[in-house]
Amino acid sequence: MIAIPAIDLREGACVQLVGGSYDAERVRVNDPLDALKQWLALGFRTFHVVDLDAALGKGSNADVVARLVSHAPGLTFTVGGGVREASRVEAVLAGGASSVVVGTRAIEDLAWLTEVAERFPGRVVVAADVKGREVVTRGWTSGSARDIRDVLSALEPLPLGGMLVTAVHKEGQLGGVDLPLMEEVARSSRHRLYASGGVTTLEDLRSLAKVGAYGAVVGMALYTGRLDARAVAREFTQ
């Protein structure tokens, strides 16, 4: 399993939020490129970039994304946040991202997701953001009334690059992961599982690896120093 530093973009800065609340910002790095360079220096080579403003329809950090993705050759970036048009999927991939993360429209419009997944096989990752067991959309602000199991079943036939499952109820709280949720997803879906939300310790990462996660997105614990980033990079990079 690989550990993937999160680079969440808001108003041009790299931030970390508690519980997905835009009113609970705990970390801010004014230049996201500084964050990327920090993680690179420790040995990380795969990164998860999210445009939080685009996810809520409150702006765009596309220029910042472009700077990050073009910084150095040989790095792997998954990029998401407000990707709701096929043209944007194409633009993100053309800009150098290895895969594009689609959430809201993917959950709400299966026909559209099928179209883009078949157009870019293996390069579209679906974000299933979960509160409890309900999948939520629109920057974690809207409920879908759909259980994660139902969503996984609908997505099973598609040629996806993976599933990014975020336990929103654990996000940014440094309280550990929702291991039963992640184990269920890994067991019931053939797609790669990228787990997110609550990673706090090396043991959290080891537990996710044991239940079958392909990758784990790590944010708050790295940025606050709760996790020893060097130790994480040593054990969970490829």
Take residue 142 and report the two structure tokens written for it.
Answer: 């809207």
pTM above 0.85, yes or no: yes
Residue whose C-alpha is closest to residue 92's, from 119, 65, 58: 65
* Model pLDDT, residue 69: 96
> Domain 2-237 adopts which CATH fold?
TIM Barrel (3.20.20)
How many CB atoms neighbour CB 28 within 10 A? 12
Q: Widest CA span of the chain, in angstroms?
A: 43
Q: What is the pLDDT of residues 25-83, one digit of tens each?
A: 778 999 999 999 999 999 999 999 999 999 888 899 999 999 999 998 899 999 999 89
Give the DSSP H or E segment for 88. helix 86-94
Rounded Cα gap, residues 177 and 201, in angstroms: 9
Stronger pLDDT, 62 or 135, i.e. the higher one: 62
Q: What pLDDT is stored for residue 39 in this prediction?
A: 97
Percent of the chain scoring above 70 in pLDDT:
93
Domain residue ranges in the chain: 2-237
Give pLDDT tens digits for 97-133: 999 999 889 988 999 999 999 999 999 999 998 987 7
- Catalytic (active-site) positions: 8, 129
Instruction: Give the CA count within 13 Å in the CB-facing half-sphere of 56.
Output: 13
**What does the alpha-carbon distance between residue 56 and residue 38 come to, in Å, rounded to a whole number?**
28
